[in-house]
Amino acid sequence: MRFFLDTAVLAEIEEAAAWGLLDGVTTNPSLMAKAGVRDFDAHYRAIASLTPGPVSAEVLATTYEEILAEARHLYSLADNIVVKIPFIPAGVQAIRTLHAEGIPTNCTLVFSPLQALIAAKAGATYVSPFLGRLDDIGHDGMELIRQIRQIFDNYGFETKILAASLRHPQHVLHCALEGADVATMPFAVMKQLFHHPLTDKGLAQFLADYQKLHAGA
Ligand code: G3P
C-alpha cells in the first residue's frame, strides 16, 4: 500500500520525503487555503518537484467544458500531476474524456460504492472514498472500502482505491487489511505511524542499562 500525504504544506512534504515514506501527495482547495497559498500554479509546481510520485491537484470548475480546460492546464504544470475531479455528472463526463486523452484523474468526494463503480467505468485512475467524514455522520467508512475493493476485483477494474479523510493510524491499518491501494493521511497521522509506547520504553531501558554498565566500568 502506498502512503500519500494529504497536505499543501511544503515543509511537511519535505520531511516525509526525507523519511522515505512519501509515495505521493493529495491536496484540495481547503488544504491550499489552510496553507495560505495565493499562487496555486506555482505551489503545485513546488509540491510536484518535492514529491517522488503523483500529486493530486483539484479543479475548481463545475461544468464539463470548464473542468476539461482546467484539468488540461493543471496537467501541464508538472509530469506527476493527477487531476482531482469531484464526483458530479459533469466531473464523471470529464474523467471519461481525460482518460481518452491519457490524463490521469482522481475522482474525489466519493461516499458510496456505486459512485466508485461509476468513476471506474469512466476510466478514473484513482477514486477517493472519504472514510473519516462517513464515520463523522455515524456510518462505517471501512465498509465502503471493503465494498469498493470487492466490486473492483469482481470486474477487474484497474482504478486504484485511494482511501482519504483518514484521521488516525487505525484507519491506515484497516485500509491495509482491506486492500486499499493508497492511504492519504495528514502529516500528524504519518508521524504517529512511527510511535509505539513500548518501542520508546524499550529503547529508554536499553540506553539506561548501557549507561549503568558504562558508569560501573
Ligand atoms: O483530501 C481529501 C480528504 O482527505 C479530506 O479529509 O479530514 O477534510 O475529511 P478531511
Is residue 181 packed enough to be buried (19+ CB in 10 Å), middle (13-18) or exposed (0-12)? middle
Say yes or no: CB of residue 29 within 6 Å of ligand 1: no
CA of 33 to the centre of ligand 1 (A): 13
Say yes or no: CB of residue 133 within 6 Å of ligand 1: yes
Q: Could you list the mean pLDDT of each consecutive 10-residue stretch along the chain, which spans 217 residues?
A: 98 97 97 97 98 98 98 98 98 98 98 98 98 97 98 98 98 98 98 94 97 82
CA of 212 to the centre of ligand 1 (A): 48
Q: Is 84 known to be catalytic?
A: yes
Q: Which of 82, 88, 81 is nearest to 66 (CA)?
A: 88
E strands in the chain: 2-6, 24-26, 55-58, 81-86, 105-110, 126-129, 160-163, 182-185
Residue whose C-alpha cell reads 497559498 in the numeric block: 37
Give the start-to-end residue ranges of the domains of the chain. 2-215
pLDDT at 154: 98
- How do strand 2-6 and strand 81-86 relate by DSSP bridges? unpaired
CA of 130 to the centre of ligand 1 (A): 7
Nearest CA residue ID for atom 5, ligand 1: 165
Nearest CA residue ID for atom 3, ligand 1: 165
Say yes or no: CB of residue 132 within 6 Å of ligand 1: yes
pLDDT at 214: 85
Which ligand 1 atom is at minimum distance from the Cα of 56?
A: 1
Active-site annotation holder among 34, 84, 121, 191: 84
pLDDT at 217: 63
CATH number of 2-215: 3.20.20.70
pLDDT at 136: 97
